[in-house]
Amino acid sequence: MPEMDGVEFLRHLSEADYSGGIILLSAEDERILEVANNLAKARNLNVLGYISKPFKRKSLGLLISEYSPHVTITSAPPPDEITEEELRSGINGDELLVAFQAKTAIATDKVIGVEALARWNHSERGLLPPLTFISLAERCQLIDELTHSIYRKTLSQMRNWLDKDITLEVAINISVNSFTSDGFADFLINTAEEYNISPELIIFEVTESRLMDNMLDCLETLLQLRMKNFRLSIDDFGTGHSTMSQLKNVPFTELKIDQSFVGSACENSTARSIFESSVFLAKKLNMSTVAEGVETREEMALVEELGCDQMQGFYIAKPMFADKFEKFIQTWPNSLLKIPISSS
């Protein structure tokens, strides 16, 4: 590699469509190695891992043993793009559904709440996740209609559960676009009163990366909701570009730590440090913390070790519709925690 460092060499390997296994060896510190490793993977190289010098034969052998030929996956052609007319018809035709994913309190191992997740039971395409239609709804100015439908169905289910003596806090994702709509706060408040549900049981999740661009427009609505005792959660924490100022300027009550940090914190010291610092910061600000995307026993143990309050993820339960969720909580190892409803 005359007159070429390792970073340049990785670029040349990528340009040459090299498919062999690659192990990075360097005396640089771990964070530099980690970034180089991520860069190589982003270039679609078959990276087995990295080792700091001086390295031992055993460490090298373990990585080599994980080698398998790099397979280029040819994705199937995408389905026909969903149209505005389809989405409008789906909303008006009552095709939107709500699935629920359990959240547990780490201290008690009890199910204390759920996240409500939109689904679209398309008449021809089948059951669709929100990734396939939320952005379209925002672009076509249909997001308010969609949010109204999902919110009403969620509160209707909450009322059903409360009547069965099942008390859960429910988190609902709200598009930043809706927070800027006139009268949106009144709709949320009045609908909760209509279903006789305490605002303290309702958590509105706001995605961090979208909030900063609309901060001033959203702040009035967010303040109105907090004054009515609704709770506010900052979602995907750590992935946005102005996190600290948002925590200072918006009265959030909950911080959700992004699954990208949760999933890598067991093996990655940088991710672990960010996770731990996020929990510490939240506690200083009197906010509760939720680790999302917990998928293994090891991740669950680390989340508990670092002092997080709640967790959700496939290790606990996948999203499910209300009937299956009720069966799930009946078989959960511990009894369901009852959360007092305030008289406000």
The residues spanned by each domain of the chain are 6-65, 84-331
Tokens of 250: 């918006």
pLDDT at residue number 343: 35
- CA–CA separation, 204 and 211 (whole Å): 13
* Distance (Å) of CA 157 to CA 60, 73, 90, 100, 301: 54, 41, 20, 10, 32
Helix axes 6-15, 30-42, angle to 10 degrees: 10
- CA–CA separation, 161 and 266 (whole Å): 36
Superfamily grouping for domain 84-331? EAL domain (3.20.20.450)
Query: What is the pTM for the complete model shown?
Result: 0.78
- The second-level CATH assignment, the architecture, of 6-65 is 3-Layer(aba) Sandwich (3.40)
pLDDT at residue number 246: 66
Q: What residues in the chain have per-residue pLDDT under 70?
A: 1-2, 29-31, 66, 69-79, 208-214, 238-246, 333-344
Residues 47, 17: contact at Cβ < 8 Å? no
Q: Dihedral sign, CA of 289, 292, 297, 298?
A: negative
What is the DSSP pairing of strand 110-122 with strand 126-128? antiparallel
Residue type, 338: K
pLDDT at residue number 20: 84
Q: What secondary structure letter does DSSP report for 168?
A: -
pLDDT at residue number 305: 93
Cis peptide before 54, with omega less than 30 degrees from 0?
yes
pLDDT in tens, 122-134: 999 999 999 999 9
Burial 107-128 (b: 16+ CB within 10 A, else e): eeebbbbbbbbbbbebeeeeeb
Q: Which long-range contacts (CB under 8 A, 24 or more apart) does 270-275 make?
A: 270/30, 270/31, 270/34, 272/302, 272/306, 274/238, 275/302, 275/306
- Across the chain, mean pLDDT equals 84
* Distance (Å) of CA 302 to CA 101, 136, 238, 257, 266: 21, 37, 18, 13, 7
Tell me the backbone φ, ψ of residue 275, rounded to 5 degrees. -60, -50
Query: Hey, do 6-65 and 84-331 end up sharing a CATH topology, with the first three levels equal?
Result: no
Helices (H), 68-198: 84-92, 134-139, 143-163, 176-179, 184-194
Residues 34, 9: contact at Cβ < 8 Å? no
